[in-house]
Amino acid sequence: MYQINFKDPIHIYFMGIGGISMSGLAEILLEQGFTVSGSDLKESELTIALAEKGATIFYGQTAENLNPQCGLAEIDLVVYTAAIKDDNPEFIALKEKGINSMTRAELLGQIMKNYQVPIAIAGTHGKTTTTGMVSEILLKARLDPTLSIGGILNSIDGNIKIGKSDFFVTEACEYTNSFLQFYPKIGVILNIEADHLDFFKNEEEIRQSFRKFAELIPADGVLIINGAIKNLSEVVNGLSCQVIVYGEDPANDYYISDVTYDKEAHPTFTLNYHPQSFADVKAAAISHASETYTLGTRGMHNALNAAASIALSDYLNIDTRFTKDALMAFTGTKRRFEEKGQCAGFMIIDDYAHHPTEIKATLETARNYPHRLIWCVFQPHTYTRTKAFMNEFADSLCGADRIILIDIYAAREKNEDGISSKDLVNIIKKSGKECYYISTLDSFANAEKFILENVEQGDLLITMGAGDVVTIGDNLLKN
């Protein structure tokens, strides 16, 4: 693999530079004196921000983009994501020209090597929120970390922050085994479930991937892991690093109890700690064998994400006061139970949930939020995921009072099996739930019209999915 010399900046080209992760890495390299260029399909806030910082951006992906132009020197290295296919014109030109190349994950791994305390947060669900929580704690403690987040964090007004310390925090995604290119000193595994079945054969293969991720952590590092993970011993037994287990079970090193919610679903809980579980007890940790926390985020799933973040904070000997203040101030990243505003007397919430477990957690959170009826507008994400979890999607969506299904967001896929949102509607209707299919192939106009005619004052409308369903709420609020 090509090795970057960070003391000798070169010209790096990003295919898909507008992606949430790619744009962050590009910004880090710009800060370190690299020449950065790249392409994306359309202009966005992220590409505009990069251009203002000195990057050269091309809109549309053509072979011509890889030729020296705009006064730039020849490209030394091309970085691409898993979304780039073999028939992409730039990718074809890359191979023909023989330019050095690497994946986004390989670049991120090489950047991590430059830091003494690289922190990688993995799991099927909750990565972005937990990365945000950990980031807020380090910021509150004035540790000046470098942050690479898979969502927009309000306190830094973006997804990236370039710090001057030895702390580096990033999400670690399992898709295409990307996180196996990383070099974590501290690793977090929030959960392990079946997902990304367009790449993994089955859940067992996913578990094996997470085990390999855990094995990346060196003997002087630590793995913080959810004790509720099925057959946990298969993931942690024999690791050379320290292992800290958290969850709801009192047998865990850290465990949550006494959970209550305020009128807007913010949890307060007691976090308990077993100091005898560790040979080397951290000073900050032993000072709060039992402590009460209140979150600025919502739901039981975020109480568990917070428990992982607190364990990490303790491991770093961060004062508990900073941790408590940070978790109360952190209200989540964008598109995670995000309050968008009121329309015609009903509240609009937007959420990124696109896996049955995430949907269930979001709708359970909504039950503790003010509402008359809960309406869920769900946009399934990818055909393979919809097909693989059809029944599970139906079960989890039934946590809403009324359900609206719009067309599947294809993302990187083609509909080879003829899967449709109508299939999911038919299953949900058999359960007796009110469920409606509205075609959005041309526009969201019909869905917006239906909502305005049917959702009533006092109701809660949740737009849900990893695609562009958020646009529905945005359009409604413009009316």
Strand partners, 101: 78
**268/251 Cα distance (integer angstroms):** 21
**122/193 Cα distance (integer angstroms):** 12
Contact 265, 298 (CB under 8 A): yes
How many H-runs (helices) and E-runs (strands) does the chain carry?
16, 21
Q: Helices (DSSP H) in 116-202: which residue ranges?
A: 127-140
Q: Burial of 474 by CB count in 10 Å (0-12 exposed, 13-18 middle, 19+ buried)?
A: middle
Measured in residues, the chain has a length of: 479
Please list, in sequence order, all residues whose beta carbon lies within 8 angstroms of the beta carbon of residue 278, skipping any fewer than 6 positions away: 242, 244, 253, 285
Active-site entry in 127, 140, 340, 387:
127
**162/150 Cα distance (integer angstroms):** 15
Contact 272, 285 (CB under 8 A): no
Helix axes 470-478, 445-454, angle to 10 degrees: 60
**443/464 Cα distance (integer angstroms):** 17
Active-site entry in 136, 171, 174, 448:
171
Contact 399, 360 (CB under 8 A): yes
Closest CA to 466 of 20, 50, 153: 20
Q: 185 an active-site residue?
A: no
CA angle 281, 284, 290 (to 5 degrees): 90
Strand 374-378 with 402-405, pairing: parallel
Looking at residue 411, the DSSP 8-state letter turns out to be T
Q: 106 an active-site residue?
A: no
- For residue 243 the two structure tokens come to 């292992």
Closest CA to 351 of 317, 384, 374: 374
Q: Which amino acid is at 49?
A: A
Q: 128 an active-site residue?
A: yes
Active-site entry in 47, 128, 129, 146:
128
- For residue 233 the two structure tokens come to 């011993």
CA angle 430, 365, 445 (to 5 degrees): 60
Radius of gyration of the chain (CA): 23
What residues are annotated to the active site? 127-128, 171
